[in-house]
């Protein structure tokens, strides 16, 4: 394998926090695990490796803190969340650099993720004050009916490595705003953003036990303790469909509330009447963001045969212009994949497509370390792995279509349904197609629809529930109905 592209790196600071955060205090553990930089596999940090005993202790703290936090006034919770938001933004550069080092996200893009992550905290700081029940008319003069919204209880949250900050705040901010306490287990590749975020929560005045972070190399023992603990009332998970399905079963034994944000396989449909230049720019943004490692990345690009050649010619220019390099260089657009396993999956998908007759127009090879060159494939056909599994890499497979009904059938013909995109200037077609797409999120002439105030989530094997907006808050609230006879 060739060497990764070279760069002059500045002296890097030690990560500020590497211990676990339990019951409002930093905790060293008997063993640690390594976080390595995907850029050159250098050691970024040795991080506390918690086990079952610490998980049990964290559960006790979460239960104790819940008694107080659930009764803390909305104004006080809101003020702490607001200070947390300010603190995150004040540390944007540090968090982004940490992200670039722990998982290879280009630092300019990582700065965008920190702002997006902070956006959830800002939004739920405001929404904390708007959690209210309803009155219901009664058919009887002597009865009054109303509802209260109550926090579900202590929460166990599990997050993936591909958004080390935003997946944390998208869960933790609404949970805290609702009055829940949270135990977070970050992905083993990316515990450092989560640890710095909880550090900032504490500095913002977050009380002990309200938000705890348990880094660990093996997620199973810690998760078993917390999922089997009936006092933990909610499990919120973002990650692969395979793991999400397993956790769904485990959570049944304690009847937990559940949110599952799982995998996707997004179709990107470019109709004959599309603005081709805008579509090219947005496919590139959707496909190559985070080196293709997002759950809403375009995975199948369907282009109408009338505009196929024009689209491909302009798309190739855009892809050839992408800057691959050191994630710490602000000019870099594509960094390394997170690790060797991720690279192997991308290689296997491209090799399989090539063997089945697909043409590689650009890329199609590793480019040193865990880098994979931005790649465009044409001649992709049903049955190829790339159309059936998430590639999670910088590979754009292009297919053609001629008929709206045909492309909708193809787009829906997968077991998942997270995000889909349609490019058209015809308003009627935009409505028709968005209604026919079996997806939780549809972008019409928009390749990046996610925003904190809107619902994010999928149908079918893409999961259960929604994050963001008031939907994300209600995932952490139970409805209590009260009927009062007034005499
Ligand atoms: P993953 O399922 O391997 O891991 C996710 C998390 O689950 C990690 O924290 C991991 O430690 C933990 N985990 C793994 N096995 C576990 C087990 N047996 N018990 C308890 N915890 C366990 O997924 P990943 O590779 O980290 O993330 C990529 C996946 O996440 C992709 O499928 C992507 O589409 C999905 N994703 C979905 C969304 C969404 O909002 N829908 C967002 C980002 C990523």
- CATH code: domain of residue 28: 3.40.605.10
Same domain, 312 and 211: no
Q: Is residue 3, in this structure, part of any structural domain at all?
A: no
**Ligand 1: residue whose CA is nearest its atom 39:** 261
- CATH number for position 446: 3.40.309.10
Q: Is residue 190, in this structure, part of any structural domain at all?
A: yes
Q: Is residue 379, in this structure, part of any structural domain at all?
A: yes
Structure confidence at residue 11 (pLDDT): 74
Tally of structural domains, the chain: 2
- Quote the domain boundaries for residue 175: 20-262+462-482
Q: Which H or E element spans position 47?
A: strand 43-48
**Torsional sign, CA 249, 251, 254, 258:** negative
Same domain, 193 and 295: no
The reply to whether ligand 1 has any atom less than 6 angstroms from the CB of 32 is no
Structure confidence at residue 367 (pLDDT): 83
Q: Which residues pair with 400 in a beta bridge?
A: 303
Residue 416 Cα distances to 164, 239, 243, 463, angstroms? 23, 13, 14, 8
Helix (H, G, I), strand (E, B) or coil at 407: helix
Same domain, 386 and 318: yes
Structure confidence at residue 65 (pLDDT): 99
**Ligand 1: residue whose CA is nearest its atom 18:** 220
- Give the CA angle between residues 215, 90, 467 to the nearest 5°: 55
Structure confidence at residue 265 (pLDDT): 97
Q: Which atom of ligand 1 is nearest to the CA of 463?
A: 41
Same domain, 307 and 242: no
The reply to whether ligand 1 has any atom less than 6 angstroms from the CB of 293 is no
Nearest residue to 168 (alpha-carbon basis) of 204, 198, 199, 207: 198
| Residue 239 Cα to ligand 1 middle (Å) | 2
Helix (H, G, I), strand (E, B) or coil at 129: helix
Q: Is residue 296, in this structure, part of any structural domain at all?
A: yes
Long-range contacts of range 186-189, CB-CB < 8 Å, 24 or more positions apart? Answer: 186/159, 186/213, 186/215, 187/159, 187/160, 187/161, 187/239, 188/33, 188/161, 188/215, 188/216, 188/217, 188/218, 188/219, 189/35, 189/102, 189/103, 189/161, 189/338, 189/339
- Determine the residue of 160, 241, 452 to mutate for testing ligand 1's pocket, defined as the one with the most ligand atoms within 8 A of the Cβ atom: 160
Please, which residues have CB within 8 angstroms of residue 299's CB and are 6 or more apart in sequence?
A: 264, 265, 266, 267, 386, 390, 391, 397
Helix (H, G, I), strand (E, B) or coil at 67: helix
The residues annotated as belonging to the active site are 261, 295
Structure confidence at residue 8 (pLDDT): 64
Structure confidence at residue 7 (pLDDT): 67
Q: Is residue 75, in this structure, part of any structural domain at all?
A: yes
| Residue 283 Cα to ligand 1 middle (Å) | 24
Q: Is residue 293, in this structure, part of any structural domain at all?
A: yes
Same domain, 254 and 107: yes
Q: Which H or E element spans position 304?
A: strand 298-304
Structure confidence at residue 13 (pLDDT): 85
Same domain, 341 and 477: no
The reply to whether ligand 1 has any atom less than 6 angstroms from the CB of 390 is yes
Same domain, 307 and 254: no
Taking the model in full, what pTM does it have?
0.97
Same domain, 279 and 138: no
Structure confidence at residue 249 (pLDDT): 98
- Note the pLDDT tens digit of each residue in 307-318: 999 999 999 999
On whether the CB atoms of residues 299 and 330 are closer than 8 A, the answer is: no
Same domain, 51 and 125: yes
Q: Which residues pair with 22 in a beta bridge?
A: 25
Same domain, 219 and 300: no
Please, which residues have CB within 8 angstroms of residue 473's CB and are 6 or more apart in sequence?
A: 124, 127, 131, 174, 177, 178
- Note the pLDDT tens digit of each residue in 179-217: 999 999 999 999 999 999 999 999 999 999 999 999 999
Q: Is residue 50, in this structure, part of any structural domain at all?
A: yes
Give the chain's residues under pLDDT 50.
1-3
Q: Which H or E element spans position 486?
A: none
Same domain, 301 and 242: no
**Ligand 1: residue whose CA is nearest its atom 17:** 220
Q: Is residue 9, in this structure, part of any structural domain at all?
A: no
Same domain, 308 and 366: yes
């Amino acid at each position: 394998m060739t060497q990764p592209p070279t760069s002059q790196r500045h002296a890097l600071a030690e990560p500020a926090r590497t211990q676990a955060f339990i019951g409002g205090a930093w905790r060293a553990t008997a063993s640690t695990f390594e976080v390595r930089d995907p850029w050159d596999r250098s050691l970024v940090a040795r991080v506390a490796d918690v086990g079952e005993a610490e998980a049990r202790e964290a559960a006790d703290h979460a239960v104790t803190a819940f008694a107080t936090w659930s009764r803390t006034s909305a104004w006080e919770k809101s003020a702490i969340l607001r200070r947390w938001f300010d603190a995150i933004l004040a540390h944007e550069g540090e968090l982004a650099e940490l992200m670039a080092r722990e998982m290879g996200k280009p630092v300019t893009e990582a700065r965008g993720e920190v702002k997006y992550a902070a956006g959830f905290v800002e939004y739920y700081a405001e929404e904390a004050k708007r959690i209210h029940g309803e009155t219901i008319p009664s058919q009887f003069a002597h009865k009054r009916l109303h509802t209260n919204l109550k926090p579900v209880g202590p929460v166990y949250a599990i997050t993936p490595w591909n958004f080390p900050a935003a997946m944390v705040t998208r869960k933790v901010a609404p949970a805290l705003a609702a009055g829940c306490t949270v135990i977070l287990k970050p992905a083993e590749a990316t515990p450092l953003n989560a640890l710095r975020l909880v550090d900032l929560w504490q500095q913002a005045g977050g009380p002990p036990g309200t938000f705890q972070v348990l880094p660990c190399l093996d997620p199973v023992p810690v998760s078993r303790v917390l999922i089997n603990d009936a006092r933990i009332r909610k499990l919120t998970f973002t990650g692969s469909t395979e793991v999400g399905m397993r956790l769904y079963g485990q959570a049944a034994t304690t009847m937990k509330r559940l949110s599952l944000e799982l995998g996707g396989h997004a179709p990107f449909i470019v109709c004959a009447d599309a603005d081709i230049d805008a579509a090219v720019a947005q496919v590139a943004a959707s496909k190559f963001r985070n080196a293709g490692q997002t759950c809403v990345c375009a995975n199948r690009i369907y282009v109408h045969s009338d505009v196929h050649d024009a689209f491909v010619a302009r798309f190739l220019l855009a892809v050839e212009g992408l800057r691959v390099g050191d994630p710490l260089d602000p000019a870099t657009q594509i960094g390394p994949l997170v690790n060797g396993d991720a690279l192997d999956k991308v290689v296997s998908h491209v090799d399989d497509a090539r063997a089945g007759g697909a043409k590689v127009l650009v890329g199609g090879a590793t480019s040193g370390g865990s880098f994979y060159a931005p790649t465009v494939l044409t001649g992709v056909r049903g049955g190829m792995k790339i159309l059936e599994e998430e590639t999670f890499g910088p590979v754009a497979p292009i297919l053609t279509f001629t008929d709206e009904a045909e492309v909708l059938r193809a787009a829906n013909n997968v077991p998942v349904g997270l995000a889909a995109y349609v490019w058209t200037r015809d308003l009627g077609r935009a409505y028709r197609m968005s209604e026919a797409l079996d997806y939780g999120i549809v972008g019409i002439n928009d390749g990046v629809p996610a925003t904190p105030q809107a619902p994010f989530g999928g149908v079918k094997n893409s999961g259960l529930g929604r994050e963001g907006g008031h939907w994300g808050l209600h995932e952490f609230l139970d409805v209590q109905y009260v009927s009062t006879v007034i005499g």
